[in-house]
Amino acid sequence: MSNGTMNQLTPAPDAWNFAPDEALLGLSALSVRSVLGSIKAGMDPSDDRPVIPLGHGDPSAFPCFRTAPEAVEAVSAALHSGEHNSYPTGVGLEPARRSIARHLSLDLPYEPSPDDVAETARKLGIFVIADEVYAHLTFGKKRFVPMGVFGSVAPVLTLGSISKRWVVPGWRLGWIVTNDPNGVFRRTKLVESIKSYLDISCDPATFVQGAIPELLENTKQEFFDKTVDILRQTADICWEKLKGISGITCPSKPEGSMFVMVKLDLSCLQDIKDDMDFCCKLAKEESVVVLPGCAVGYKNWVRITFAIGPSSLEDGLARLKSFCSRHSETNK
């Protein structure tokens, strides 16, 4: 109020420009989340069939992939304790960090053998960044060996999280671990550089950090075995079903992780311009969502996840087969 009258709203100054940066928009448009959002936006709302999500990396919604009860109990206990409501340090709560280090050290007694990646890094004078979020989610003939065992050959930064192995991607907790017995990272101040960044980044929720010691120490091996067994089963289903679909080729049977990459043969598919067009039309016609390869650097490939319930996977692959058959050159 001014002089007994209501002021009119002051026009925003021309200098107030909150339009997003075009360069950043171009980068974010190719993120997995953004691409999947664009594909889902074009789906047919009149299709009453359930949507089959074969493009995501989040199996947590399916009952067969629910997280371990020990993980739920650990978070509940951390919340009820009232001890994890304060600000954490930038590098995380000390008990969680100690527990993660102890947990990861269980993988390190392996006797190192010559490794091409580590040897190449040593010769080039560089270090290795090992993304091991999918550590232990293997079901082929080759066992998982952590890159950290080669830390004496070349220094290793290992990235990990509870997202995949415990099937809780929404809990948003991961770690960066150094494997550097020769002290290269210490001499070059790399760890200090990472810490300075973490001081201004978002932290995982403190109660999730508080749950980490119990989560890591109490989760039974049976839970991990069950998860791997289901992934082995769904990988087999995916491999067998994909072999019978025209217009796509799966080069190799998956032996780990949650995804398989398949190559599109556009010469066999009518009215399909590229991988993005393929995925958009598949979503609109069949309510099946897969990820175009362009989102992960593979133009005219498609990424399919098999980390969903077996019956939903079979339904989704049957719809994929119908779509490819309908768009096949031989049916024209």
More confident residue, 317 or 4: 317
In this predicted model, what pLDDT tens digit does every residue of 183-240 receive, in sequence order? Answer: 999 999 999 999 998 888 778 999 999 999 999 999 999 999 999 999 999 999 999 9
Beta-bridged to residue 102, according to DSSP, are none
> Dihedral angle at the C-alpha atoms of 296, 64, 144, 159, nearest 10 degrees?
50
**Does 3.40.710.10 match the CATH number of domain 27-64+222-331?**
no
Residues 290, 233: Cα–Cα separation, whole Å:
20
pLDDT at 133: 96
pLDDT at 53: 97
Number of other CB atoms surrounding residue 120 within 10 Å: 13
**How many percent of the chain have pLDDT more than 90?**
78
Residue-by-residue DSSP string for 137-155: -B-SSSPP--GGGGTTTS-
More confident residue, 318 or 116: 318
Task: Give the residue extent of every domain in the chain.
Answer: 27-64+222-331, 69-219
Distance (Å) of CA 209 to CA 15, 39, 189, 216, 302: 42, 34, 26, 11, 35
Region 69-219: CATH code: 3.40.640.10
Residues 258, 304: Cα–Cα separation, whole Å:
9
**How many percent of the chain have pLDDT more than 70?**
90
In this predicted model, what pLDDT tens digit does every residue of 74-130 receive, in sequence order? Answer: 999 999 999 999 999 889 999 999 999 999 988 776 665 657 889 999 999 999 999
pLDDT at 10: 66
Q: Say whether 69-219 and 27-64+222-331 share the same fold.
A: no
